Structure 1
């Protein structure tokens, strides 16, 4: 089993003032660096899904994949599945760029949950609900995902449910907290500094 990770950094960051969310500073480092720190030890290789100038990610040592057709997170997942297949991987674990508190046991939990999924797809879940953009994707789902996106559909949870995704339950609801607004960023800063 060879598992790659992909950080989904293609969002427009509208609620953050239209900035490149991946590069927004959190505790003195770009947001993407925090996600990379959490994901990299758990996978063989990390990819970054992002459109625009890939040079802005040059310092992170990851291949940058543009979307063939930008349709949200699933376009990034499909690009990662396509490259991962060429490089001999068996699975891809995706996560958004604005989740700096990912659990250190994310991948093992997703793998365990996937054992009970008929197509091997597992999504993260906690007491607040599902977090379908944080998921384990077997490479065999790439054709179905391409067809789904080709139909004009792009909702992650709809695809996950259509393919009988298992839920990997995590106890800490903060692990998948998305930083969508300046207030979210301030709360994350306080958490990191131990003042929350």
Structure 2
């Protein structure tokens, strides 16, 4: 088994004022740097799913993968699956770029849960609910995902449930907090600096 990660950095950042959330400073570093710190030790290689000029991600040393149509997170997941498969991966772990508090045991927990799935597909969940964009995907699902998107479907959970997804339970809901607004960013900053 060879597992790649993909950081989903293709969002519009509308609630953050239309900025590139990946590069928004958090505790003196770009938000994507915090996500990389947590994801990189858990996977064989990390991809960044983003459209636009890939040069902006050069400092992070990851291959940037553009998707073939902005149809939400599944577009980035599909692009990541295709590239990861070409590079010899069996699975892809997807992570939104605005979740800087990911658990250090994310991938092991997803793998453990995936053993109960026929497709070996698992998503993160906690007491607050499902986190469908934080999931383990077999790269062999790429053709099915392409067909799903071509049919006009975009909901991550709908596709996952059609392919026998299981939930990997996590105890701390803060681990998957999305930083979508300036207020959420400020709260995360306070948490990192120990002033929350």
The question of a shared fold, defined as TM-score above 0.5 by the shorter chain, is answered with: yes
Q: Map 1:38-187; keep pairs closer than 5 Å.
A: 38-187=38-187
What's the TM-score once normalised by structure 1's chain length?
A: 0.99
Deviation at 1:70, TM superposition (A): 1.4
Name the SS for the 1:77 alignment partner. helix
Please give the alpha-carbon distance, in whole angstroms, between the structure 1 residues aligned to 2:4 and 2:164: 22
Is 1:13 aligned to residue 13 of structure 2? yes
Deviation at 1:181, TM superposition (A): 0.1
Please give the alpha-carbon distance, in whole angstroms, between the structure 2 residues aligned to 1:67 and 1:83: 11
Please give the alpha-carbon distance, in whole angstroms, between the structure 2 residues aligned to 1:111 and 1:194: 32
Please give the alpha-carbon distance, in whole angstroms, between the structure 2 residues aligned to 1:147 and 1:121: 18
Please give the alpha-carbon distance, in whole angstroms, between the structure 2 residues aligned to 1:59 and 1:174: 28
Q: What is the number of residues matched between the two proteins?
A: 196
Deviation at 1:153, TM superposition (A): 0.5
Runs of 4+ aligned residues of structure 1 deviating over 4 Å after TM superposition are none
Please give the alpha-carbon distance, in whole angstroms, between the structure 2 residues aligned to 1:124 and 1:64: 24
What's the TM-score once normalised by structure 2's chain length?
A: 0.99
> Corresponding residue for 2:33?
33
Deviation at 1:139, TM superposition (A): 1.2
Name the SS for the 1:149 alignment partner. helix
> Corresponding residue for 2:190?
190
Report Cα offsets for 1:109-165 as digits up to 9, x if no partner. 000000001111100000000000000001111111011001010111111111120
Please give the alpha-carbon distance, in whole angstroms, between the structure 2 residues aligned to 1:164 and 1:48: 26
Report Cα offsets for 1:84-129 as digits up to 9, x if no partner. 1111110000000000000000000000000001111100000000
Deviation at 1:189, TM superposition (A): 0.4
In structure 2, the gaps of 5 or more residues are none
Q: CA RMSD in A?
A: 0.5
